[in-house]
Amino acid sequence: MNEAAPAKENILAGIEMGVGVWAWGERLIWGYGRDYSLGDLRGAFESSIAAGIRLFDTAEIYGQGQSEQILGQFLKQAQEPVLVATKFMPFPWRLSRQSLMGALKSSLKRLGLEQVDLYQIHQPLPPVNIETWMEGLTEAVNAGLTRAVGVSNYDRRQMQRASDRLQREGVHLASNQVEYHLLNRKVEKNGLLRQCQEQETALIAYSPLAMGVLTGKYSPENLPQGVRSGRFGRKYLEKVQPLLTLLKRIGAEHGSKTPSQVALNWVMCKGALPIPGAKTLLQAEQNAGASGWRLSDEAVMQLDEMSDRVCSDL
């Protein structure tokens, strides 16, 4: 009888956190070129690497390719090994798995790489079914264009279908990237986080700072501008203040950690991998300080209770 081949280790195993680079080159949504510059982004990249953060998450659609291009530019000068994750958007006009290979090759060109570390399907969008995209991902692995594959915004059922299809080809589903933070704990409540842990698929937590709200810098008197103003208005920021106060208190009790560091560490304590966005050296440096230590069980419990209370009123 043949012995089962030992499972290949998930390339994300042991990685505590990464950096999300959606804002890199993204003018319309995040204000690139107005509020922060290429020099700021270089600072964010270099300080992350210096702090031992090696995973960078981008997508072909971020800044219409600018994000991949800027990351690629920085990668050329990187002295340390870096893990690059990017994403394929299954636009409704992309109807075959050949379109995935074409998009991946374009991403590689922008990144200046021959292979990415993780290639993800950005959304479970119709009309093409999940199985077809999984066949495309398998082809990308076999062609050596990506080391591992993942999905994003997939619910439990969709993730199972993806995983089953990949498994048939001997490919492991490395990750599912979904929104997860103290102000959105859907993945905890609906069992997705548990399912990820059971099948050794990393849950990559996106917007882990609730797009900046959990840093504590926004308040009813200092509202975020641009597209965020619709989602995080005055009422919202009034309601989340008790949670922000608790983040500050817990940070002080854990050796002068900032609210952002506590919020990111909470995600890690739950067994997920946060990828906070950073636009500047200071933001990246501060976020990197969220790794390498752990909140007490008591603190995690207090944050759980407070977030439940606050979220029930949002």
Ligand X SMILES: NC(=O)c1ccc[n+]([C@@H]2O[C@H](COP(=O)([O-])OP(=O)(O)OC[C@H]3O[C@@H](n4cnc5c(N)ncnc54)[C@H](OP(=O)(O)O)[C@@H]3O)[C@@H](O)[C@H]2O)c1
Q: Which residues contact 220 (CB under 8 A, 6 or more apart)?
A: 234, 237, 238, 241
Compute the least distance from the CB of residue 142 to ligand X, in Å. Answer: 25
Residue 21 binding ligand X, by CB under 6 A: yes
Nearer to ligand X, 66 or 152 (CB): 152
The strand pairing partners of 274, in sequence order, are 205
Measured CA distances, 157 to 24, 79, 125, 196, 273 (Å) = 32, 41, 14, 12, 21
Stretch that binds ligand X, among 18-26, 76-84, 133-141, 194-202 (CB under 6 A): 18-26
Residue 219 binding ligand X, by CB under 6 A: no
Whole-angstrom distance between the N-terminal and C-terminal Cα of the chain?
A: 57
Instruction: Look at residue 11 and give its three-state secondary structure.
Output: coil
Q: Select which of 32, 36, 62, 154 is catalytic.
A: 62
Measured CA distances, 133 to 86, 127, 199 (Å) = 15, 11, 20
Instruction: Look at residue 264 and give its three-state secondary structure.
Output: helix
**Binding track, positions 122-151, relative to ligand X; x by CB under 6 A:** x-----------------------------
Active site annotation includes 62: yes
d(CA 286, CA 263) in angstroms, rounded, equals: 12
> Pick from 8, 157, 217, 294: which binds ligand X (CB under 6 A)?
217
Residue 283 binding ligand X, by CB under 6 A: yes
Residue 107 binding ligand X, by CB under 6 A: no
Residue 86 binding ligand X, by CB under 6 A: no
Residues designated catalytic? 62
Which residues of the shown chain bind ligand X in the complex (CB under 6 A)? 20-23, 57, 122, 152-153, 177, 206-212, 215, 217, 260, 275-279, 283, 286-287
